[in-house]
Amino acid sequence: MSRPKRIAIAGGGICGLSAAYYLERIMAERGEAWEIRLFEESDSLGGVIRTQIRDGFVLDLGPDALFKMKPAAEILAREIGLGDQLVSAIKQELPTMIYSGGRLHPLPEGLELMAPTRVLPLLASGLLTTKGKLRMLMEPFVPARRDGTEESIAEFVGRRFGREALEKIAGPLLAGIHAGDPARLSMTGTFPRLPEMERAHGSIARAIQKARAARRKAGGRGSGGGAGAGPPFLSFKRGLSTLVDRLAGAIQRASLETGNGIRSVSAAGTGPEAGYRLQLADGSSWEADICILCLPGEPARRVLAALDAEASKLAGEVRYVSTAAAYLGYGPFAEGVELPPTTGFLIPPGDHPTMFGCTFVSNKFPGRAPEGSFLIRAFFGGGMRPRAMELSDEEMIAEARRVLSKLFGLNQEPVFTTVQRWERSNPQYEVGHAARVRELLARLEAYPGLYLTGSGFLGVGVPDGVALGKGVAEQAGLHLSAGPEAAS
C-alpha cells in the first residue's frame, strides 16, 4: 500500500496558514488522505500579525486592519466562525491629515485616487501653494503615457499631478503604506489601478468621472467614496491575532510545527514526480511530493540555494526595509486636550527626519482603549528614514511625545509605552520587481510541485496573504489529483 501524498509548507504566517487550511478543505472534499506539515522557524504562528492586550488596551503590533475591497480575509474569517468578532473602522469627521509646515492639514475634500474631484475644497486647502493646486487641476490635460514603461510612484505622480502633490500628498500617503521611497517604489507594482486608468481613459480624473457617470446611469450611489460611504477597513474586537488563533485552531489534520523551519530543499530523485528532500532546522529530513514556500526573500534564497542557484539569487534580490512603532497609552485626557476626529496623520520626509506618521488607534476601531482612554501609535524608519532605527526605544517614545505635545498640547504622562521593531520586514515592490518575480516563477516551473508565494513577491497585506495561500493550495491540489502537467 502506497503512502499518502506529502505536502510541506514553509512559513507559518497568514499565507502559509491559509494554504494549510484550504488544502485540508480540498482533502475533505475529495475524500483523500494527504499528509501536510507546516514548518515555522520562529516560536509562534502568524508572522507579523501580533496582538498584545495590555491594561485594557488592544495593541496590534503589526498590521491592524483588513481592506474591505480585498475580501479574501473577511470571507475566511466568516467561514471559520469569526463573523461576530468583526468590527468596522469608526467613521471620522476629518480625513487623514498631513503634517506640513509645523501644523496639520486635512487632505482636501473630494480627493480621490490623487485626483481632485472638487475644485473649491482644493483651492481652500492650506496644504499646497496656489501653483501646486493649479498643477493638480491640470491633470486631465497631461498627455497619457501608454507605452507600458514602468514608472516609480515619484515619476508617475510628478508627471500627472506635479511635484508638490508628490511631496505633500502622494509621498506620505501612497509610499507610507509600504514605508518606502516613492522614487524607488513601482507604481505598477504598488498601485496598478492608477496606470491602468491612465491607459484606458487618458487621465485619472477623467476615469473617475466616467465611472461615476456609469454608476449614476446604473442607479448606483456616487463613487463609493463620498459622505455616505463607510470606512474601507475591518478588524476584530480583540485585534488581528484573533484571525491567526482561530485559523490555526480550524486546521485539524495538518501538523503545525513551530521552532523548526526548512533549511534547504533539494530534488529527492530524478523525474517529474520525484518530489523533494527537505533539511529541517532540528537536523532531521523529510521527503515531500509538494513543497510550498511562503517565505520572505532572504529565507527563500537560503532554502532554494541547493536546488537552483539562479532562482535563489533572484529571491534574495527583493529589498526590505525596517520600521518601528512606538505605542503610547493614555488615561482620560486633561481638560482642553483632545485629538482631532481623524485616524491620524502622515509626515512628508522633509518635515521630520525619523517619524513618518501617527495613528490614533482608539479613533480608528472601537474597543482599542478603556472608556475615556486613548491609544496612539507613532511610526519610525522605512525607506526614507533608515537612520531612525538607530534610535533607542526611549528616544522614539520621547520624539513621539514631543510631536504630540507640539500639535495637541498633550503633555500628560502615558499610562504605558512600548516599542515594536520590525527589522527588514517590509518588502519593497520597486521598479523592476515584477519582472524579477516573473523570471523567478518561470524558472521554478522546471520543478513540478514546488511553489513560491507570499508578500515578498506577489501581494502585501493580510487579505493578499489569504488569497495567495488559497490560490497555491488550489494549484497543489490540482497537481496531486491530475499530475504535474495539469498544474503547469
Residue pair 160/141 in contact (Cβ under 8 Å)? The answer is no
Residue pair 153/115 in contact (Cβ under 8 Å)? The answer is no
Give the per-residue pLDDT at 216. Answer: 83
Give the per-residue pLDDT at 91. Answer: 94
Give the per-residue pLDDT at 225. Answer: 41
10-residue stretch averages of pLDDT, the chain, 488 residues long: 85 98 94 93 96 96 95 98 97 91 90 87 92 95 92 96 94 82 94 94 92 80 47 95 98 96 90 84 96 97 97 97 96 80 92 94 96 95 95 98 94 95 95 96 96 95 97 94 55
Query: What residue spans of 62-129 are helical by DSSP H?
Result: 72-79, 119-124
Q: What does DSSP assign to residue 337? A: -
Give the per-residue pLDDT at 227. Answer: 39
> For the chain, what is the radius of gyration of the CA atoms?
24
- Give kind and range of the element (H or E) at residue 190: helix 187-190
Give the per-residue pLDDT at 175. Answer: 65
Residue pair 330/365 in contact (Cβ under 8 Å)? The answer is no
Total Cβ atoms within 10 A of residue 269: 10
β-sheet bridge partners, residue 192: none
Give the per-residue pLDDT at 121. Answer: 87
Q: Which residue has the cell 460611504?
A: 229
- Domains (range + CATH), the chain: 5-47+239-318+430-487 (3.50.50.60), 51-68+80-92+320-426 (3.90.660.20), 107-217 (1.10.3110.10)
Beta-sheet pairing, 262-267 with 103-106: unpaired
C-alpha triplet 38, 48, 404: angle, nearest 5°: 170
Give the per-residue pLDDT at 2. Answer: 65
Distance CA(29)–CA(217), nearest Å, equals 43
- Helix count (H) and strand count (E) of the chain? 18, 22
Of 379, 320, 369, residue with least CA distance to 61: 379
Q: How deeply is 53 buried, as exposed, middle or buried, from its count of CB atoms within 10 A (0-12, 13-18, 19+)? A: exposed
* Cα-to-chain-centroid distance, residue 356: 17
pTM assigned to the model:
0.92
Query: What residue spans of 2-151 are helical by DSSP H?
Result: 14-30, 72-79, 119-124, 130-137
